[in-house]
Structure 1
Amino acid sequence: MAQDAVVELLAELVAIDTTSHRSNLPLITFVEDYLSRHGVDAKRITDHSGHKANLYATIGPSDLPGLMLSGHTDTVPVTGQAWTLAPFALTEQDGRLYGRGTTDMKGFLAAVLAAVPAMVKADLAMPFHLAFSHDEEVGCLGVRTLIADLAHQPVRPAACLVGEPTSMRLATAHKGKLALRVHLHGKACHSGLASQGVNAIHAAAHLVTWLEAKAATKASEGPFDTRFAIPYTTLQVGTIQGGTALNIVPQDCQLDLEFRNVPADSTETLLGELMEVVSSLEARMQSVHPQASIRVEPLSDYPGLSMTDDDALVGFILDVLEDCRLEPIGYGTEGGLFQQELGIPTIVCGPGSMAQGHQPDEFVTREQLAHCEAFLARLIRAMQDPQVHARLATSG
């Protein structure tokens, strides 16, 4: 079972409410102080508001590329969820550790921090880099300033492990995501004169119909990627709002939609196709009312992650894991950004299951944390092997 040091650190992290709409600086300060007590300097990369920050630290030879252990510090809200336990106080019952973020993903952060003393004492042939980000839950937004900073550093990580919950199995791929908000502006009039107006909801229905047809095409024609439970790109409308009264032709309508693409599919191509439909539909609306318009607003996006199963990083991590089964995951991570923006080979592996993430009474088990502790201990030993340079140099 997990050692008390990990559980105590997890309790400290859970007690700090880092819901994405809040500042994460109290947690960053806690981690900075903890690392400082173990002789590790950390760099804070603050966002434009000054209320949030990423943290980056290196343990081991600073002039060499190493393995980055990456995790986000923010959590999803508890508002509207039926919690039976205090969400921001760690509660243990029957081997389960309850609290917001225990699985997603403060359990991994606590395990990494608990391993810091062993990392510091080890004669590492390659360093560990710790990268803790903000605002992952709202579209992988915060990590982008960390990536921009790393892009200008003379030494950047050779590889990355993102500790999102995978039940301590290795995940080598996940889908990308593009989320958009479409604002449709028509012309209001009395419903008895409907032909003189431009019905924004009817216009939105054309887009919904196109999205549904495109989703069906992707399901039948692909491209397909069998690493995913749903092996093709999906498209859907999540919310739609419009109209004021039944006897008024609606002037405005707004819908939120998303693409979740397999790595072989291009969101740029899908967006281009959507914009062609938007352009044609807008022209039809403007033929009735020249001031009608459609505006497409990006909400969030992140690329997919795709590592080949025979990659050197995959083999290296599988040699250290207890469970060598690959884990298909249906959620996104910051890993695709590290791979695409920095060219860093990246995999995903961490304690807990996303079946508990984002849920009321979220929990991680002591057993999962113990597996993570053991994995990190073996990883530290592997990073002391002089041959680790040669093994990771061929990754990617």
Structure 2
Amino acid sequence: MLDKTTSILADLIAFQTVSADSNLEMIDYIAGHLDACGASVQQFRDPSGRKANLFATLGPQCDGGIVLSGHTDVVPVSDQQWATDPFKMVARDGRLYGRGCCDMKGFIAATLAMAPTFAQAVRDRPLHFAFTYDEEVGCIGAGHLARSLGEMGLRPGVAIIGEPTGMRIIEGHKGCYEYTTRFQGLEGHGSAPDQGVNAVEYAARYVALLLELKDQLRAMAPPGSRFDPPWTTVNVGAMSGGTVHNVIAPMAQVRWEMRPVQRSDADFVKGRLHRYCRDELLPRMQAVFPDAAIETEVVGEVDGLVPTLENEARAILAELTGRNAADVVPFGTEAGIFQSLGMDVVICGPGSIEQAHKADEYVSAAQLGQCLAMLGKLAAKLGQ
């Protein structure tokens, strides 16, 4: 089974599904594998028609099924120094290299390799496959899939998200809220600063408040928080604006994110920023240029995965892996979206998050073997 998984993984890596590009060829490839196993396969295109989610079912069309889920998109390889072609899998020293090997095409390959076994095993409880687009840029596809499942009236009971966890069981993670804030000022000559509105300067003031809030959030960590770090974090990822040194910059933008431990922290940050723009920055900008503006685009607001006392997914994975402990992680996934639909959710998959997004990304053959063993036990459980 490992050889079959490796072969499928090589095919998946060859699909250059960077988030900016289409994933349709990979979705069609997956659909072909699952259709051949007798699965009921549906594709849901995004508004552009260039991307799609896939949802497939083995067994009866009823509530209470188990979902195996992964995202098809990968992060870019530009400006990274790879030892080999990132879109051609290379096997070396027990490791499989290529963009998306661990994040998270390795898990997808394992589920496809096991699909014929699942098809033979499934009885009364359905097994679903959910593969999404644009997880890396705000979990956009998963949000779309959630709406699609709602329209279908289908309510699975359990979801296993195969993000790289070293096959540890993860029952909680922070949310991921991403934004782009744009500043519209008034261009002018650098020698007459009072006659223009410098968008870069106002963006800098905005960033200064973000950094103040970042420090304040450290003292707001909930008692007993299991996260590392235990508080809500803020990160300013990119800031741009202006052209040359002697021109007042008419436009600027700030790309930033926060990873809330609790939704109240996100409300606190957004409230402070809104009041600051409304009461201080905008009045000063519009006193010079009435059309000055500050606008924030919500790239994505994905709630975290909240640990719960009762969690069937956690119980199933403990039985399948032999691991009784469940951890939490600081990075975000689509798990919170599935939880919002009423499912019990855990994250468990091959590979390490430390390899994700980096040059020479890899997953070990041993980790894929552990994943296949877990999926094999799941098939046996479905057949009981």
- For normalisation by structure 1, the TM-score amounts to 0.91
Report the Cα distance in structure 1 between the residues aligned to 2:122 and 2:188, rounded to whole angstroms: 76
- Which region of structure 1 is more displaced relative to structure 2, 221-230 or 10-19? 221-230
Residue pairs, 1:62-77, within 5 angstroms: 62-77=61-76
Report the Cα distance in structure 1 between the residues aligned to 2:317 and 2:260, rounded to whole angstroms: 26
Report the Cα distance in structure 2 between the residues aligned to 1:59 and 1:295, rounded to whole angstroms: 46
Write the deviation string for residues 157-194 of structure 1: whole angstroms up to 9, x where unpaired.
11111100000001111111222222222333333332
Q: Does 1:329 align with 2:310?
A: no
Alignment check: 8 A CA contact 1:225 1:262 kept? no
Report the Cα distance in structure 2 between the residues aligned to 1:97 and 1:323, rounded to whole angstroms: 25
CA, structure 1 residues 239+377, in 2 after alignment: closer, same or farther (shift >3 Å)? same
**Percent of residue pairs identical:** 38
Q: Does 1:313 align with 2:340?
A: no
CA, structure 1 residues 28+243, in 2 after alignment: closer, same or farther (shift >3 Å)? closer
State the Cα distance separating 1:309 from its structure 2 match. 5.1
Report the Cα distance in structure 1 between the residues aligned to 2:74 and 2:96, rounded to whole angstroms: 16
State the Cα distance separating 1:140 from its structure 2 match. 0.8
The amino acid across from 1:292 in the alignment is A
- Which region of structure 1 is more displaced relative to structure 2, 214-223 or 187-196? 187-196
The amino acid across from 1:9 in the alignment is I
The amino acid across from 1:316 in the alignment is I
Q: Does 1:244 align with 2:243?
A: yes
Alignment check: 8 A CA contact 1:139 1:301 kept? yes
Write the deviation string for residues 11-59 of structure 1: whole angstroms up to 9, x where unpaired.
1211222222222121111122212222222111122222221111111
CA, structure 1 residues 125+82, in 2 after alignment: closer, same or farther (shift >3 Å)? same
Alignment check: 8 A CA contact 1:126 1:384 kept? no
State the Cα distance separating 1:266 from its structure 2 match. 4.5
Q: Which residue of 2 aligns with 1:394?
A: none
The amino acid across from 2:381 in the alignment is A
Write the deviation string for residues 296-318 of structure 1: whole angstroms up to 9, x where unpaired.
22222211111225533322321
Report the Cα distance in structure 2 between the residues aligned to 1:333 and 1:30, rounded to whole angstroms: 24
Residue pairs, 1:222-237, within 5 angstroms: 222-223=221-222, 226-237=225-236
Q: Which residue of 1 aligns with 2:156?
A: 157
CA, structure 1 residues 217+115, in 2 after alignment: closer, same or farther (shift >3 Å)? same
Matched position secondary structure for 1:152: helix
Alignment check: 8 A CA contact 1:223 1:265 kept? no
| Unmatched tracts of structure 1, length 5 or more | 386-396
The amino acid across from 2:289 in the alignment is H
Residue pairs, 1:98-109, within 5 angstroms: 98-109=97-108
Alignment check: 8 A CA contact 1:233 1:265 kept? no
Report the Cα distance in structure 1 between the residues aligned to 2:67 and 2:104, rounded to whole angstroms: 16
Q: Does 1:88 align with 2:122?
A: no
- Which region of structure 1 is more displaced relative to structure 2, 77-86 or 268-277? 268-277
Report the Cα distance in structure 2 between the residues aligned to 1:237 and 1:30, rounded to whole angstroms: 38
CA, structure 1 residues 47+291, in 2 after alignment: closer, same or farther (shift >3 Å)? closer
- Structure 1 moving runs of 4+ over 4 Å: none
Residue pairs, 1:208-357, within 5 angstroms: 208-223=207-222, 226-280=225-279, 281-308=281-308, 310-340=310-340, 342-357=341-356
Matched position secondary structure for 2:152: coil
Matched position secondary structure for 1:297: strand
Alignment check: 8 A CA contact 1:172 1:347 kept? yes
Q: Which residue of 1 aligns with 2:46?
A: 47
Alignment check: 8 A CA contact 2:232 2:265 kept? no
How many residues are paired up?
383
Q: Which residue of 1 aligns with 2:363?
A: 364
RMSD: 1.9
State the Cα distance separating 1:123 from its structure 2 match. 4.7
Residue pairs, 1:95-244, within 5 angstroms: 95-223=94-222, 226-244=225-243
Alignment check: 8 A CA contact 1:263 1:306 kept? no
Matched position secondary structure for 1:319: helix
CA, structure 1 residues 247+49, in 2 after alignment: closer, same or farther (shift >3 Å)? closer
Matched position secondary structure for 1:198: coil
- For normalisation by structure 2, the TM-score amounts to 0.93
Alignment check: 8 A CA contact 2:179 2:300 kept? yes
The amino acid across from 1:7 in the alignment is T
CA, structure 1 residues 195+145, in 2 after alignment: closer, same or farther (shift >3 Å)? closer
Alignment check: 8 A CA contact 2:58 2:122 kept? no
Alignment check: 8 A CA contact 2:12 2:26 kept? yes
Alignment check: 8 A CA contact 2:168 2:348 kept? yes
State the Cα distance separating 1:279 from its structure 2 match. 0.8
